[in-house]
Amino acid sequence: MIEEQHTVDIQSTDQALIEAYREGQDALAYSELVRRYQIPLYRILSAILSDPDQAEPACEKLFVRAANRLHELHDPRGFHPWLIGMAKDVAGDFEVDAGVVAPLSRPQLLSAANLSLHAGKQVVADAVRVALSQMSSQQRTMLTLVELEGNDPADVAKAMGIPLPDFEVQLEEARSRFVDLLTAPGAGTTPPAMDGVPPAVTSPADLPAVIGGRYRLGPRLGAGGMGVVHRAHDEQTGEDVALKVVFLGPGTEGIRARFDRECLAMNMIHHKHFVRSHAHGELPGARWIALDVIEGRNLADRMLEGAFEPRQALEIARQILLALGHLHERRIVHRDVKSDNVLFVVEDDAPIVKLIDLGIAKLPDDTFTPETARLTAAGMTLGTPAYIAPEQAIAQTVDGRADLYSLSVLLFEMLTGKLPFRAADMVTLLTMHVSTTPPLVSELVPRPLPVAEAIDELVDRGLAKTPKDRYRDAQEYIEALDAILTELGE
């Protein structure tokens, strides 16, 4: 059924909105709560995390967790302090590697130190970055909530679960430590470059003519904020490849980990529905990978033209399932199946679908480490909320059935021209994946759908909220899909 549309009074109290959400799981009511508090909570997380780039995924995780635990809040009038207390817990989940020094020279952090960043004062910013990176998460939390946000120390102490007298002592210690670190000799200085180290490759202009001893660079095919793609000629095989290079400056540890993970995953697969990897390697300050040159359009661009005919949508989904089955047999979970990552190409004069981007894939030997924790967070948020599985949205362990859920969202979109869930903000969208029943495909198609009941059952099972209620694996999904294709006939 298509859910009835509601409106929400933005003047409502927190208590009224929480009660509306509790009574009917009203996503709009919760969306208004998110709108009210997401900026201050983002600022708090940005300051207390040692890696402020994790503030966005941490904020999203915070509001999804709060939605799932709202029944634990006894007094709705205390929603804001309750959120602050939960923010501390979420920050602790992300604070898995206190030894990593991330760039923290954001204006709000300087404000916490009663400083300002102007032209020519980069030394001050560096000193603040170093000082804050050497403080504990709890100390950064105290300084941020009291000095930056202007909260009453008594309220902050209560939210953090610390008796007020102890809190006041610890806050003063945090202030003193920050000042000591900020004024220490050499604060904010950067070690000099080591002799004999080749100059770093920091931009396309620094790239050598030949990379990896064999790939001679040709014309540029594309570029982004952190990298570039060139057509290159393989002087060993005589073939052309697409050479992708990412530049790894300060603060790009996550990008490096994602790129290395993609290279590792590409080495483990060889399938006609994936782009082929030829080689990968390093340059000073950069990483590169050589891939097949692919010329085609992605599914996201094609969806701008509207829905597919049922048979065509099912056949595309079948090819993607073949690719996913190949991954899952190798205990790899893609975690980012979406329309942008599906390409239409022509091989041997026949159209074929290719699945791309294994940058946040879950690999067979993944264990809980700082890097896999950060990539898991990326998998939750950058794993495109429009397509994300419920268990991934709330940061639970995922297996191949999460990919089957994302594929089902994609199939729903191809059949109807619409996504099953739409919302004005990301947190509400994640919450809908977790708790809202999707409409049936047959309710949204512009004209009567052949074998409508079978298609509804196929997609609805793929979109089940719990993994155990979905298809067991890609092969079982293919068998159900093939039965419908047979029923549709030629």
Active site residue ranges: 336
Rounded CA separation 237/25 (Å): 60
